[in-house]
Amino acid sequence: MRPTLYTANAVATLIRKQKIASLTEIMSVLGTDARRTAFRKLRELSCRTSYSHCGRYYTLDDVAEFDSLGLWSYRDVWFSICGTLLETAAALVGAAEFGYFVEELDNVLHVGTKDVLRKLVQSRNLAREQVAGRWLYCAAEAGPRRRQIVGRRARLAEPGIVGPMPEAAILPDELRAAIVLFFSVLDEKQRRLYAGLEALKTGRGGDARVAELLGLDVSTVARGRRTLLAQDVEIERTRAAGGGRKSVEKKRQKSSRASKR
């Protein structure tokens, strides 16, 4: 009987030690150049492939700590309890209370999802509907889809911060004018921070979208966004030093010769 040269335990030990491993690292620990051998040993383990980085990384189910959405990341490599990006996008959109705009799902999954969503719509695993001039991706079933669309429209009608900034071309004229007017009364630092805030709300592609609307350089928006993320904002005094009412000193009355008489 031919002896076993490679064991799945070596792969499990590697992944538990460093949380994730690439196929190259797995082949190295197995001492083989054969991808087929590595895949065969991976099938013996309860493991998952990353949905980011083109599926180049692997982890074990007992290593990953999935959050309430079924997502987990390590060193910017993302994994899903659902498996692939296609399966993950379908599950999240189908279960979402208000559906998802592309930028929102990009922000949740930390990868671009436009092509994946298009494929899911073409295969009829998801549906989409225009809401406020943008495509809202929804469940394929009529009942859940209707609830998502109604809920989204109601949410957009609420005052306050309701999500990412739409593209400049589809903003209502009154809203665009109000944003530009508000922006014009801010000083340079406040403009940069406000632009960074809107970019954070918008998610993937937010820097370019906000820069186009506000007439800024993309690097300025990115700088404001990075400043907010780093919380590197100096809270300045409302009044400059030396401003405000002058302190009142009690003055002594000068003695006069008349008073001494």
Share of the chain above pLDDT 90, in %: 51
**Residue 150: its pLDDT value, please?**
92
**Residue 161: its pLDDT value, please?**
47
Tell me the per-residue pLDDT of 222-233, one tens digit each, with 9 for 90 and over.
Answer: 898 888 888 777
Domain containing residue 134: 85-157
Regarding whether 102 and 74 lie in a shared domain, the answer is no
> Given pLDDT bands bounded at 50, 70 and 90, which one contains residue 120?
very high
For the residues 100-119, what does the mean pLDDT come to? Answer: 93
**Residue 202: its pLDDT value, please?**
74
Tell me the per-residue pLDDT of 243-258, one tens digit each, with 9 for 90 and over.
Answer: 545 555 545 555 555 4
> Given pLDDT bands bounded at 50, 70 and 90, which one contains residue 11?
very high
Q: In the chain, how many domains are there?
A: 3
CATH number of residue 92's parent domain? 1.10.10
Asked whether residue 49 is domain-assigned, the answer is: yes
Query: Domain end: 157, 188, 219, which one?
Result: 157
**Residue 174: its pLDDT value, please?**
67
CA separation, residue 41 to residues 4, 51, 207 (Å): 12, 20, 44
**Residue 201: its pLDDT value, please?**
76
**Residue 199: its pLDDT value, please?**
83
For the residues 173-200, what does the mean pLDDT come to? Answer: 84
Q: Report which residue type is found at 150.
A: V
Asked whether residue 72 is domain-assigned, the answer is: yes
Among 28-42, 80-94, 137-151, 197-211, name the one with the lowest average pLDDT.
197-211
Query: Domain end: 42, 64, 80, which one?
Result: 80
Please say whether the beta carbons of 152 and 99 come within 8 A: yes
Evaluate if residue 136 carries a pLDDT over 80: yes
Give the integer Cα–Cα distance in Å for 155 and 35.
50
Give the integer Cα–Cα distance in Å for 253 and 236.
40
Regarding whether 183 and 153 lie in a shared domain, the answer is no
Evaluate if residue 142 carries a pLDDT over 60: yes
Asked whether residue 221 is domain-assigned, the answer is: yes
Regarding whether 20 and 74 lie in a shared domain, the answer is yes
Among 16-25, 90-99, 135-144, 176-185, name the one with the lowest average pLDDT.
176-185
Token pair listed for 132: 């406020």
**Residue 238: its pLDDT value, please?**
42
Asked whether residue 236 is domain-assigned, the answer is: no
Q: Which of 118, 164, 173, 124 is nearest to 145 (CA)?
A: 124
Regarding whether 91 and 73 lie in a shared domain, the answer is no
**What stretches of 34-86 adopt beta strand conformation (E)?**
47-49, 57-60, 71-74, 77-80
Asked whether residue 133 is domain-assigned, the answer is: yes
Regarding whether 184 and 145 lie in a shared domain, the answer is no
Tell me the per-residue pLDDT of 197-218, one tens digit each, with 9 for 90 and over.
Answer: 888 877 667 788 788 888 888 8
> Residue 57: helix, strand or coil by DSSP?
strand
- DSSP-derived letter for residue 18 is H
Asked whether residue 130 is domain-assigned, the answer is: yes
Regarding whether 141 and 197 lie in a shared domain, the answer is no
For the residues 167-181, what does the mean pLDDT come to? Answer: 67
Evaluate if residue 19 carries a pLDDT over 70: yes
Asked whether residue 258 is domain-assigned, the answer is: no
> Given pLDDT bands bounded at 50, 70 and 90, which one contains residue 5?
low
Regarding whether 105 and 146 lie in a shared domain, the answer is yes
Regarding whether 89 and 70 lie in a shared domain, the answer is no
Q: Which of 191, 193, 192, 221 is nearest to 207 (CA)?
A: 221
Mean pLDDT of the chain: 83
- DSSP-derived letter for residue 169 is G
Regarding whether 122 and 98 lie in a shared domain, the answer is yes
**Residue 239: its pLDDT value, please?**
45
Regarding whether 214 and 175 lie in a shared domain, the answer is yes
Asked whether residue 17 is domain-assigned, the answer is: yes
For the residues 59-69, what does the mean pLDDT come to? Answer: 94
Query: Domain end: 131, 157, 183, which one?
Result: 157
